[in-house]
Structure 1
């Protein structure tokens, strides 16, 4: 047995979908089911989803204040006023800045951009930057991907005589800035779609300013839209769909240079933006000023683009090292101090603020709890950092309940940034723990996997996977479908330079399916071959040497039944059982033999000790059989009593009776007839001669002799066998020695010479649990 790491939500069981309205659009029942589960229930909706069209985008004029903002920008251009684009240092903010700059430059504006320094200024507008802008002659500031929380800064701009246009998409707080104009989907009652990324809002503003649809900017729009993890539905789906085409064919020097350092060839996918381009765009602002990232997107010079892309690549590699170091420290702190807190808060002086969001994500994944990671600044008396949450805990609303304890706070339900006085850290920790304790159940702390469909391994095909790919681009709001499959484990191995990944092959009859589990290598020793595995993952196509195969990228799996680990005959077993926990394991051997688990602290008892003394069976999950029992009944009694989750058959057999066999009744008859005829048999002189004559082993002759002696058919005097005249009639089965040999043969045949399935069947039957294997279990096999 191996339990899943996540809660599995079988979404397709919740609704008996009538997918017939989609028949005219799609042939595949599976694709129709997937669309239905995404709320697409009509042919028209399916057409819009499967075939995105730029005409599906909404009119930017529906955004509140956008007309007013456009008039002010055009007035500034006409009057040659200086315009400052005030951006943000993440991928969304960087691409938003580039979009707005390109639009303004096309209109002939005198403009520059400004990205605040994460470490000295923090996120969003700040008073010092606005005053500096005033001194440099800027009369109009346009924020992109920030500003909706800048209440005080908006007042400063007004006092300075600077008009402030805010374009943003983040959650609005209680107070709204009194800016010249605010372009924000969630602050626009007439605008139908509320989930645009910051770059999406900037693009809408650019479109309204330019007076036409600027398709040349789509290669920039797709970066922020995908990297910022906004729902890829409705307008975002359209922008991502056409953006992926645009960035794949982009002639922009910066994009070309980025693709080269990312080793991207051919069409770009949403995963390549999410895991390759986006992180590199983010990395610059995480470690220093983000200006080079904007310059990379805006440059028209290929040589400069190559130089900037190389710089971005170096910074990203540095970022990866820093993340690894801080994550290691943070995990150690959680293990040592966090205890049973429902919300993790770790803080330390010297941690790089720019990567704390990534570290928080790692803590959430490892500990399945919301996490806040803070960098302490003693000289300022404050701590600053980032937070990430689990699905069941709305971090934004929870922190808003205690907003008075933060100096600055903003974000979303699953991610946030904050600054707070050092002396408030413990207060926030305790209050968030209380909120989480009130809202969450123990099950809420496990991640949730929403399963779209169950499929049989033998039903999978290359064409079927291609059908599913029509639902791309995948992302928030339109996740890549997760499938449930099951099969027996045929092959399993660890892969990767650190052996930290898992590769296995599942079978259902003759059909095979390869699976890969990244970061699951530690589970290798907990999965036995031939076990029935239930797996959840994303289906895809793996191509190697021109050959295509369906494979599943594992997200989670379980083994619902007990497992047998067959290590019979293996001399050194420490490695095979190194992962078992001493507090939940028990090893059994024959009492007179020394223990074989020298390097482990697993308790070792004899069969008789277990049966005579009894044990606390409830805690034993792993039963390690170091040696075979004296009788089958001994083992049968133990497994029926304990019913472990895993049994490790680690015994050996030196010699044994099975290969020697047992003499036939005819052989017993022949030997006895020979004795009656000859009247005696001299062991020392005649044993080897008889063995050679009959082709018997010496052991067989000795065994026959001992059985006859026990049954009083012969007597032994001075090494010579004499038949007893008129012995009492007895059957061979009345010999205890004969019965012992039969029992030993049965024991060895069942426990040692049986195959895996036969041994598991016998153990299953004797655990008195419902048989999972259908073959009839028979004594003696």
Structure 2
């Protein structure tokens, strides 16, 4: 047995009886139709719109309730020659939103500039000091992008200064809306159908309405911000990102060209390129210093300037990675020192000197490590405040639960899975206790295990390049449209650890005659926990592996499980010691014959006596028992999900053929006729005549002697006259050899399925099976 690392949720089980009658005739494979159905696409039109995103399916920006007021105010500002400031945010969504808005305003002829608050000195969103400086510099109109919906007091202050504010945002709406001239926010617009736009998506909508045409040239920026901000990639977001990725491939933006080159992106651009290469680099700027540099890069028109900025961004990203690693290590050390991480349902860790800009990433690391909601705070000892970020697990809504304790915060905002906050230092412990108590009433034991949703079960024979190409039509993947997780059942016929540190797993899987390669990054430890002959279950993604021009399907392993106990067959292999699982903390090594394997016994601290019943992760059987009953007794005392048969049978009795009754009878009649047998002289002659081994002849005479059929006189063996009649089985020597042969045939010479079946029967019944069952006849 091998437990999965994640909690597998078979989403399709809820709907497995559905016939997909409305889409049965569509020209797609069964698995693709099932996945489309799972995603709520249950008509031909819905599927067509999903698989073939079209700009015509985007909603009209005029559906935002106050967007016309916003456009009119911008046009008035342009007409009057007023200065407009775009007030952005320091993450990838914020800097792309800022770029879109600035470019649209400049194209419209506006006098504009942009401002992104410093994460460390000003924090997220509007602040009065910045607004005061903006007013001093003569700006009459502020347009917020990717922020502003929570800035009630700050917007009121801007109004007092005589400035108008247009808010474009997508974050959670709080109890009171700011008194802005216009609020362009999908969740504040009753008539706008799609509520999940990213900040850049909202800015793009405003830019479209402002310019009076569809500015396709901005879609590369829209794709970056939308993917990086982890909003659902469905509906309008799917359309915008699909076209945006195409626009990225041929972008004319000098800054993006330089950034793509730095990221080694050439040709087609994928959502993974954005999520793992471009997005993190743009985010790194605002995490460590002034995010205006990222906007400068995206707006760059000079090749040399763009390359210099990209190099600077690259260095910042490297520095960010080091800082994250250091803080994560310190945070884990602090949590472990507390000694009660298993009792805490919400983790809160704080320290002076931590870089505020990377605390969200650190919180994510803690969630991955402990699978609990995590809040990471940097303490300012002068102001006696703490500021930081939080990340959550699926069952705990950070925004909703955090808002129930808003009195503890100076500032708080975010989403269900991510939040940012500032609070007095004295409130850290009350916050931890309050959220921990809430979590204890909401979360169950299952919630603390990573959730892995499975879309479908698929046989290996159905996995081919054509199906994988069909599945690729579901891209771009992301929130609410994840890469399909498929469930397979197969038997590993090859297992290898790969990578410099052997931390990856390479497998060859077989199911009903179909063989397929699989790769599992970070799953190298499973090498010692998987038996080649045990049927396993796996959650996989499908891939096409190309090597030397040959393309073939393979599975990308995300998690593994084995539902029954496993037998590891190292019989007769001297190298079994190399296969001991170094990650297993509870292993039990047992031997039956004193000193037979003393070197091994000492090396692994093996034991011979079983004192009491116990459960262990791994049970190693080092040698053959004297009887089958001995092993049955052990298997009833020690329960284990993994049993390793390491039998070496160095003194095998199997090939010392057990004489038949007729052979015993013939030899006894011979010595009766001759009345003596000179062993030294006659045994070699008899061995040559009958083709028997000397050991066999010696054994037969030992049995005769034990049964008192013969006696010795000097060097001769003399038959006794009228001995007591006894069956051969009355001889302990005969019984012992019989039992040894039975042990060896059952445990050492049997096939893998036969040995597993025998052990399985002992585990289930404790009864020694009939001889016919043992031999599999």
TM-score computed with the length of structure 1 as normaliser: 0.93
Whole-Å Cα distance in 2 between the matches of residues 780 and 495 of structure 1? 38
Whole-Å Cα distance in 2 between the matches of residues 133 and 478 of structure 1? 41
* Match of residue 714 from structure 2: 718
* Match of residue 525 from structure 1: 528
Tell whether the 8 Å contact from 2:750 to 2:775 is kept in structure 1 after alignment.
Answer: no
Q: CA deviation at 1:539?
A: 1.8
Gap change, CA 1:762 and 1:215, over 3 Å in 2: same
Whole-Å Cα distance in 2 between the matches of residues 578 and 105 of structure 1? 64
* Match of residue 616 from structure 1: 613
Whole-Å Cα distance in 2 between the matches of residues 534 and 473 of structure 1? 27
* Match of residue 206 from structure 2: 205
Tell whether the 8 Å contact from 2:491 to 2:511 is kept in structure 1 after alignment.
Answer: yes
- Secondary structure of 1:342 counterpart: coil
* Match of residue 418 from structure 1: 421
Whole-Å Cα distance in 2 between the matches of residues 138 and 598 of structure 1? 82
Tell whether the 8 Å contact from 1:591 to 1:605 is kept in structure 2 after alignment.
Answer: no
Gap change, CA 1:438 and 1:636, over 3 Å in 2: same
Q: CA deviation at 1:600?
A: 5.9
1:289-323 alpha-carbon deviations (Å, 9 max, x no partner)? 12222222111223322232222222222222222
Once the two structures are overlaid, the 10-residue window that deviates more, 237-246 or 619-628, is 619-628
Structure 1 regions of 5+ residues with no counterpart? none
Q: CA deviation at 1:632?
A: 0.5
Q: Aligned runs of 1:542-581 on 2, under 5 Å?
A: 542-571=545-574, 576-579=579-582
Q: Aligned runs of 1:462-611 on 2, under 5 Å?
A: 462-571=465-574, 576-579=579-582, 584-590=586-592, 592-593=594-595, 596=600, 598=602, 604-606=606-608, 609-610=609-610
Q: CA deviation at 1:397?
A: 0.4
Once the two structures are overlaid, the 10-residue window that deviates more, 493-502 or 657-666, is 657-666
Q: CA RMSD in A?
A: 2.4
* Match of residue 217 from structure 2: 216
Tell whether the 8 Å contact from 1:578 to 1:600 is kept in structure 2 after alignment.
Answer: no
1:210-245 alpha-carbon deviations (Å, 9 max, x no partner)? 100000111111001111111111111110111111
* Match of residue 2 from structure 1: 2
- Secondary structure of 1:169 counterpart: coil
Once the two structures are overlaid, the 10-residue window that deviates more, 119-128 or 235-244, is 119-128
Gap change, CA 1:566 and 1:69, over 3 Å in 2: same
1:601-624 alpha-carbon deviations (Å, 9 max, x no partner)? 7xx542xx43xx5x133x344322
Whole-Å Cα distance in 2 between the matches of residues 595 and 441 of structure 1? 48
Whole-Å Cα distance in 2 between the matches of residues 678 and 697 of structure 1? 21
Whole-Å Cα distance in 1 between the matches of residues 655 and 382 of structure 2? 80
Once the two structures are overlaid, the 10-residue window that deviates more, 231-240 or 157-166, is 157-166
Structure 2 regions of 5+ residues with no counterpart? none
* Match of residue 304 from structure 2: 303
* Match of residue 159 from structure 2: 158
Gap change, CA 1:498 and 1:348, over 3 Å in 2: farther
Tell whether the 8 Å contact from 1:750 to 1:780 is kept in structure 2 after alignment.
Answer: no
Whole-Å Cα distance in 1 between the matches of residues 533 and 661 of structure 2? 40
* Match of residue 81 from structure 1: 82
Whole-Å Cα distance in 2 between the matches of residues 467 and 572 of structure 1? 45
Whole-Å Cα distance in 1 between the matches of residues 291 and 384 of structure 2? 26
1:516-570 alpha-carbon deviations (Å, 9 max, x no partner)? 2222222322222211111112222222222222222222221100011223345
Whole-Å Cα distance in 1 between the matches of residues 213 and 603 of structure 2? 74
* Match of residue 760 from structure 2: 764
Gap change, CA 1:703 and 1:13, over 3 Å in 2: same
* Match of residue 231 from structure 1: 232
- Secondary structure of 1:179 counterpart: coil
Tell whether the 8 Å contact from 1:574 to 1:597 is kept in structure 2 after alignment.
Answer: no
1:727-756 alpha-carbon deviations (Å, 9 max, x no partner)? 455443443212211210111122223332
Tell whether the 8 Å contact from 1:573 to 1:597 is kept in structure 2 after alignment.
Answer: no
Tell whether the 8 Å contact from 1:761 to 1:777 is kept in structure 2 after alignment.
Answer: no
Q: Aligned runs of 1:131-150 on 2, under 5 Å?
A: 131-150=132-151
Gap change, CA 1:638 and 1:84, over 3 Å in 2: same
Tell whether the 8 Å contact from 2:376 to 2:390 is kept in structure 1 after alignment.
Answer: yes
Gap change, CA 1:87 and 1:464, over 3 Å in 2: same
Whole-Å Cα distance in 2 between the matches of residues 551 and 333 of structure 1? 41
Tell whether the 8 Å contact from 1:169 to 1:184 is kept in structure 2 after alignment.
Answer: yes
Q: CA deviation at 1:400?
A: 0.3
Tell whether the 8 Å contact from 2:531 to 2:566 is kept in structure 1 after alignment.
Answer: yes
Whole-Å Cα distance in 2 between the matches of residues 441 and 751 of structure 1? 44
Whole-Å Cα distance in 2 between the matches of residues 758 and 251 of structure 1? 67
Gap change, CA 1:600 and 1:429, over 3 Å in 2: farther
- Corresponding residue pairs, total: 768
* Match of residue 49 from structure 2: 48
Tell whether the 8 Å contact from 2:363 to 2:375 is kept in structure 1 after alignment.
Answer: yes
Q: CA deviation at 1:22?
A: 1.8
* Match of residue 284 from structure 2: 283
Tell whether the 8 Å contact from 2:360 to 2:391 is kept in structure 1 after alignment.
Answer: yes
1:420-450 alpha-carbon deviations (Å, 9 max, x no partner)? 1111111000000111111122122222222
Q: CA deviation at 1:770?
A: 13
* Match of residue 457 from structure 2: 454
Work out whether 1:654 is the aligned partner of 2:650.
yes
* Match of residue 408 from structure 1: 411
- Secondary structure of 2:22 counterpart: helix
Once the two structures are overlaid, the 10-residue window that deviates more, 548-557 or 212-221, is 548-557
